[in-house]
Structure 1
Amino acid sequence: MTQTTEALTARQEPVRRPRIHRAWFVAAVTFVTIVGAAAFRSLPGLLIDPLHAEFGWSRGTIGAAVSLNLALYGLTAPFAAALMDRFGIRRVVAAALTVIAIGSGLTVWMTAAWQLWLCWGLLVGLGSGSMALAFAATVTNRWFTERRGLVSGILTAGSASGQLIFLPLLSWMLERNHNWRPAAVTVSLAALAVVPFVWLLLRDHPADVGAKPYGASAFVPKPAPVTGAARRALTVLFSAVRTGQFWLLAGTFAICGASTNGLVQTHFVPAAHDHGMPVTAAASLLAVIGVFDVVGTIASGWFTDRFSPRRLLAVYYALRGVSLLFLPMLLAPSVHPPMLFFIVFYGLDWVATVPPTLALCRERYGEDSAIVFGWVLASHQVGAAVVAGLGGVARDVFGSYDVVWYASGALCAVAALMALVIRGGGRVPAGSLGG
């Protein structure tokens, strides 16, 4: 009788579907924010030829402004991560988006190269650096204890998604209007459009909404604001540089930046145009890289949860180096199957390096890993800045980009060997780097 009553009660009680954890909504807002920030990063490669034609600035001069932007994008990241610990994620990201909108909007009135450096290099570099991958690392560390590799892969893919969305649109604007200014205004408006979503929907910590981090077994109280953001960022750096693993991570990531943002994202479109390919076709190929980058980065996050991060890095860099060595032979006036194969292959590998690099930082540096990763990201952007500038100089001097493709392929082989040398080692005690 008792069993029958229990069975009837079980049938009468409604089946409750598990609620979606708030952490996934925060990750979604973060993803959209990174997509919006990626709009400006889609523009530099498209504007090299129009700015050269309108103002007569050399490609080296324009590439130097891109270099400043890329360097600040990286160097700002560790300080931004510390500022997020002090003032909160929401305030820092909303301010950064506003700075990007101002910098991009002001470019429409520039008449001298120093104004390009100020708006495009300084303001947008600082703003985008405050929403760099250290932002994704901070959100992942605070809101997730499980699925961190997958989440970091998804958030990293946001940058590629922004490229996918904006590259075809911006290149169409350039071709239709024969004017780069509408594209710059579009980027400014895109950055401003994301601000309300950040302010209304993003939260700094699970404790703000009375929730546990995803996968956590116990409630985690919100830590007190950490004062002295700049001092903490520098203290963490000075402690991290005394470990060999930091230099290996920073070195490999510098080569990663050199072979992606610095080289392909900045110079692929003008290089393809040198071979007679229309700008819209070359920009569309970069957009396709963005499609497969999303797939590759999310897959890399899934792999990182299951396999050795250092071995994954070695494979990624080796494959990237081989593909770059073949690229000069594939550039042609039209798009052919071997070029499409390169685009798909390179897209899958584009930032697949981020989840395993972030995992190695977290494994070694614990609660300070977001700031350490910010400094590793700084090396990524310094590498990108160097090649963005040297790529333009090489084009001016040699009349082609071939030497840059070959050199970058060789550097990727070096990065693969460096990744194999990385070892786990004991974790630095939590908080000791910033103490």
Structure 2
Amino acid sequence: MSWSADTRLLLCIAIGQTIGWGTLFSVFPLFGAPMEAELGWSRAEINAGLTLALLVSGLAAVPVGQHVDRHGGRRMLAWGAWLGAALLALWSATESLLLYWALWAGMGLAQAAALWGPAMAVVVTAARDPNRTITGITFITGFTGTVFVPLGAALIAGLGWRGALLALAALQVIPGLLALWLLPAAPPRAATATQGGFSLRAAVRRPAFLGLAACFAAHAFIGIGLGAHAIPLLRERGLPEASVLLVVALHGPFQVAARLVLFSLGGRVTMRGVGRLATLLTPFGMLVLALAPPDLGWLVLYALCWAIADGLMTIVRAAGVAEILGREGYGTITGALSVATVLPRTAAPVLIALIWEGAGGYGPVPWLLAGLALLGAAAFLAAARAR
């Protein structure tokens, strides 16, 4: 069978990103309880590792993006994947909390090198149709949690948490091999960040960049905040436990369905149009969450709006940046946009917890999220109009 270059690129990146996000991110919550039981560390001490990784990953995004612009992303993705595999193996042997935190600081570097930013830079520079290729990738990666959460739980049950980490480390070797085997050695537009007078300082002052940064920061706060608090928030509404889990579980299928529709539309839509839809659905979904009675039908509507918006924004953060800001210095620019989301991503769970404590419940939280979503929508609309 002869594959087109875009199909080969799509499958390589999609498989690599699914494994990478699955092993380096999605399974993390599964290890808290067994590590607490064996090592006696608190849940806060364990979760501090992931927070540290998010901070390091955000700070490393710009230099990683600059390297990808100059040299291409093939080797960066490979070495990042293998660094992640090595750190998973070391995590399996750790007995020291300080060493555990040091490993997760290193994991932040691995995430910056192996996950979304460099992978999308490769697609934008190498694909004939980047928008369609990115949409196809996100369709496949939408199943990451569906695959890796039960897989991780089964590995922990069968091998213990240390053995499970060694198995995940072995899996994480695969993305590096795929990158070296299937990705182009010299992307056709590599090194654009150093040609044509590109200046990061000038790029980040553009109104369109500032609008996208504000939009992505708001979206990051909402996404991470809901990821940490959606289940207790819905429980507080008095829903049966089965309904709570159903509303949360619908997020993945609704995301994937939205991406499938977008993939089928192909070139008939623009990323500006997709972004407008996503950013307007987000505040609508948050308002439904704020106003809805404890009724499953209304909360499924919230889940539908938020999942479609979240699923589409994943694509906008990759293909939309290229459409609005251009491809020159793409890796560097997307790295700078990632930096803008570091503080919202790390602050959201703690800030929402503080609001819950201060208000005696989650009542104000959906209104806060709706307000941020409206600001994000306005920022995107301004960015989309900029030329």
TM range (shorter): 0.7 to 0.9
Give 1:248-397 correspondences, 5 Å limit: 248-260=211-223, 262-268=224-230, 282=245, 288-300=250-262, 305-307=267-269, 309-327=271-289, 339-363=299-323, 364-391=325-352
Q: Distance in 1 between matches of 2:172 and 2:16?
A: 8
Q: Distance in 2 between matches of 1:254 and 1:309?
A: 18
Q: AA paired with 1:150?
A: R
With structure 2 as the length reference, what TM-score do the two structures score? 0.80
Q: Find the counterpart in structure 1 of residue 209 from structure 2.
A: 246
Q: Per the alignment, do residues 322 and 185 of structure 1 end up closer, same or farther by CA in structure 2, a change over 3 Å counting?
A: farther
Pick one of 125, 134, 137 that aligns with 2:108: 125
Of residues 62-71 and 128-137 in structure 1, the stretch that sits farther from structure 2 once superposed is 62-71
Which structure 1 segments of 5+ residues have no match? 1-16, 207-221, 427-435
Q: Find the counterpart in structure 1 of residue 377 from structure 2.
A: 416
Residue 323 (structure 1) shift:
2.5
Q: Distance in 2 between matches of 1:49 and 1:357?
A: 34
Q: Per the alignment, do residues 116 and 291 of structure 1 end up closer, same or farther by CA in structure 2, a change over 3 Å counting?
A: farther
Note if contact 1:41-1:163 (Cα within 8 Å) is conserved in structure 2.
no
Q: Per the alignment, do residues 126 and 141 of structure 1 end up closer, same or farther by CA in structure 2, a change over 3 Å counting?
A: same
Residue 35 (structure 1) shift:
0.5
Q: Find the counterpart in structure 2 of residue 154 from structure 1.
A: 136
Residue 29 (structure 1) shift:
0.5
Of residues 296-305 and 88-97 in structure 1, the stretch that sits farther from structure 2 once superposed is 296-305
Q: Distance in 1 between matches of 2:91 and 2:133?
A: 35
Note if contact 1:133-1:377 (Cα within 8 Å) is conserved in structure 2.
no
Q: Distance in 2 between matches of 1:348 and 1:424?
A: 23
Q: Distance in 2 between matches of 1:270 and 1:178?
A: 30
Note if contact 1:168-1:287 (Cα within 8 Å) is conserved in structure 2.
no
Q: Per the alignment, do residues 243 and 410 of structure 1 end up closer, same or farther by CA in structure 2, a change over 3 Å counting?
A: same
Identity within the alignment, %:
18
Q: Per the alignment, do residues 251 and 352 of structure 1 end up closer, same or farther by CA in structure 2, a change over 3 Å counting?
A: same
Q: Per the alignment, do residues 331 and 423 of structure 1 end up closer, same or farther by CA in structure 2, a change over 3 Å counting?
A: closer
Give me the CA root mean square deviation. Answer: 3.9
What is the aligned length? 380
Q: Distance in 1 between matches of 2:141 and 2:364?
A: 28
Q: Give secondary structure in 2 for the equivalent of 1:204.
A: coil
Q: Per the alignment, do residues 34 and 160 of structure 1 end up closer, same or farther by CA in structure 2, a change over 3 Å counting?
A: same
Note if contact 1:292-1:347 (Cα within 8 Å) is conserved in structure 2.
yes
Pick one of 169, 175, 178 that aligns with 2:151: 169
Q: Find the counterpart in structure 1 of residue 176 from structure 2.
A: 195
Residue 252 (structure 1) shift:
0.2
Q: Find the counterpart in structure 2 of residue 209 from structure 1.
A: none
With structure 1 as the length reference, what TM-score do the two structures score? 0.72
Q: Give secondary structure in 1 for the equivalent of 2:328.
A: helix
Note if contact 2:278-2:312 (Cα within 8 Å) is conserved in structure 1.
yes
Q: Give secondary structure in 1 for the equivalent of 2:143.
A: helix
Residue 404 (structure 1) shift:
4.1
Note if contact 2:292-2:298 (Cα within 8 Å) is conserved in structure 1.
yes
Of residues 24-33 and 375-384 in structure 1, the stretch that sits farther from structure 2 once superposed is 375-384
Note if contact 1:154-1:294 (Cα within 8 Å) is conserved in structure 2.
no
Q: Distance in 1 between matches of 2:256 and 2:320?
A: 21
Q: Give secondary structure in 1 for the equivalent of 2:92.
A: helix
Q: Distance in 2 between matches of 1:91 and 1:132?
A: 13
Q: Find the counterpart in structure 2 of residue 71 from structure 1.
A: 55
The structure in which a higher percent of residues are helix is: 2
Q: AA paired with 2:328?
A: E
Q: Distance in 1 between matches of 2:136 and 2:219?
A: 18
Q: AA paired with 1:250?
A: A
Note if contact 2:72-2:122 (Cα within 8 Å) is conserved in structure 1.
no
Of residues 90-99 and 245-254 in structure 1, the stretch that sits farther from structure 2 once superposed is 90-99
Q: AA paired with 1:237?
A: L
Q: Per the alignment, do residues 378 and 294 of structure 1 end up closer, same or farther by CA in structure 2, a change over 3 Å counting?
A: farther
Q: Distance in 1 between matches of 2:275 and 2:330?
A: 18
Q: AA paired with 2:206?
A: T
Give 1 or 2 for the bigger CA radius of gyration. 1
Q: Find the counterpart in structure 2 of residue 21 from structure 1.
A: 4
Note if contact 2:275-2:320 (Cα within 8 Å) is conserved in structure 1.
no
Residue 392 (structure 1) shift:
5.2
